[in-house]
Amino acid sequence: MDRRIFLSNALLLAGAGTVPGLSSAQPAQSGAAAVVTRDAMRPQFPSGVQSGDARADSAIVWTRSDRPARLWVEWSSTASFANLNRVRGPHLLEDSDFTGRVDLTGLPAGQEVFYRVVLQDLHNERVLSEPMPGHLRLPAASHGKPLRDVRFAWSGDTAGQGFGINEAWGGMKIYEQIRKVNPDFFLHSGDTIYADGPIAAQLKLPDGSTWNNLVTEEVSKVAETLNEYRGRYRYNLMDANIRRLSAEVPQIWQWDDHEVSNNWSDSKDVSGDARYTEKNVPLLVARASRAFLEYAPLRRGPDAESERVYRHLPQGPLLDVFVVDMRSYRGPNGANLQTDETGESAFMGRPQIAWLLDGLKRSKATWKVIAADMPIGVQVPDGKDAQGRDKWEAIANGDDGVPLGRELEIARLLREIKRASIKNIVWLTADVHYTAANFYDPRKAKFTDFLPFWEFISGPLNAGSFGPNKPDATFGVQVVYEKAPPAQNAAPSEGYQFFGQVDIDAKTKAFTVNLKDLTGATLFTKTLRAA
């Protein structure tokens, strides 16, 4: 839509006393210099707009201002904004890095929603920003309307291993490929930033070429201060591809380790890491958590646990999404060989497992997606402990026998799913920087008391590519497909960047997964039939 139309409509905020202090528009000026001056006076959107956590009747709209401002959102079910609804949002101040969000409610289920964000300058309430447009598509209600097809995409791991915004290469262009498939939503499976990965102006690649990065002060070193963690999110949102996707497609964010520091858990120790002057890991976690919650377009948790990331997002009769948190409640990374479930062997933790089981049992949707930030049966090492034993970052422990350590918690979860006879569960994840389709077969497992299921892996998003990782036989994982680079830490320019696309057919209820690459080409397809 023409920006002049947006501006015209935004200035209507000045009418009827709907915005205190906005009784008239700015005085008219003429000439190019006057336009520049007028625009400079207005609040700006340095990070664009985002939407997220969409449900049938609600969604989050997020933005960031360049100065103290009041956030306003107008939305409509038509592109012409004929049936306009206006919502007053919060003040955007320094204590949140000028970020803020509005939880739009009362939205029309299953329909397109067009929105525009306006910032009201708090130094002069008569001064408004130009409107920033956005769009989202809501899931259908759980009943009462005809079903429509569902399409969504997922991936993870953004700007890792020093690969940042290479504008000459086209920026983080896998995000544009995701936008082009026109998904109902995009699931970011974690590692939304790489707080521990400095981004330099240039990286020399093995083939002798140079990768050139756009660089800011905050990304030039490991993140330690709150501003440096915030700066990582500001940096990613400088990319035009990310901003386009964010404005057009609602997102679901989860997190993993690099939002704080590589492989962080209760055993994380940076005392020997010369890059860190702040050696207090819990303090780093606190600052990182604040920045993540400020920048993620997610719905805040209740006061009882306001920093909670795991949540249930119904997407209509065909799909329920259960976003889990495999980072915040885990015990220390170690040998992972405990014979009983304890705090040391915890991965998601008992309260979250109980929440997940209850939600799966209650779900009436045909398909239940568990959005996990780490794979189940893939070995993810984390160095050695003081005794020289292998340490493990994820669930698998390199022991192909009966469940031990964190596997005990997963075994209990899978056993209870079988006892409750919950069908049509699919696991989606990222983390390991390659793409794969894994089938978990109890007939080939050491632990057999579970229903067979699929797990699909995809990533990274503009980061170094690795893998494939070794499978672990405890849960009978069968690698049906995988694609990884021939050499570790392959640059994005080598093409080993991946995302997944899911299509659920409204008529047949078939669940089709397409694993795709940087060009949007389909590498592997699997169609699952609803039980």
Residue-wise pLDDT tens digits, 450-476: 999 999 999 999 999 999 999 999 999
Fold type of domain 3-137: Immunoglobulin-like (2.60.40)
Could you count the other beta carbons within 10 Å of the beta carbon of residue 430? 33
Instruction: Scan for tokens 């306009």, then name that residue.
Output: 84
The yes or no reply on domain 150-528 and CATH 3.60.21.70 is: yes
Q: Rounded to an integer, what distance in angstroms lies between the CA atom of residue 234 and that of residue 232?
A: 5
- Which of 149-153, 171-175, 386-390, 489-493 has the lowest average pLDDT? 386-390
Instruction: For residue 93, give both structure tokens.
Output: 């101040």
- Which of 2-6, 340-344, 417-421 has the lowest average pLDDT? 2-6
Instruction: Scan for tokens 């031990």, then name that residue.
Output: 404
Residue-wise pLDDT tens digits, 126-181: 999 999 999 999 999 876 667 899 999 999 999 999 999 999 999 999 999 999 99
The one-letter amino acid code at 265 reads S
pLDDT of residue 115: 98
Res. 28: pLDDT tops 80: no
Instruction: Scan for tokens 């694609």, then name that residue.
Output: 483
Res. 27: pLDDT tops 60: no
Res. 25: pLDDT tops 60: no
Annotated domain spans of the chain: 3-137, 150-528
pLDDT of residue 33: 41
Res. 517: pLDDT tops 80: yes
pLDDT, average across residues 411-440: 98
Average pLDDT, the chain: 92
Res. 90: pLDDT tops 60: yes
Q: CA geometry: angle at 96 spanning 276 and 60, to 5°?
A: 115
Residue-wise pLDDT tens digits, 288-340: 999 999 999 999 888 888 899 999 999 999 999 999 999 999 999 999 999 99
Beta bridge partner(s), residue 500: 154, 515
Task: Give, in order, the Cα–Cα distances in Å from 525 to each of 92, 393, 460, 515.
Answer: 45, 29, 19, 7
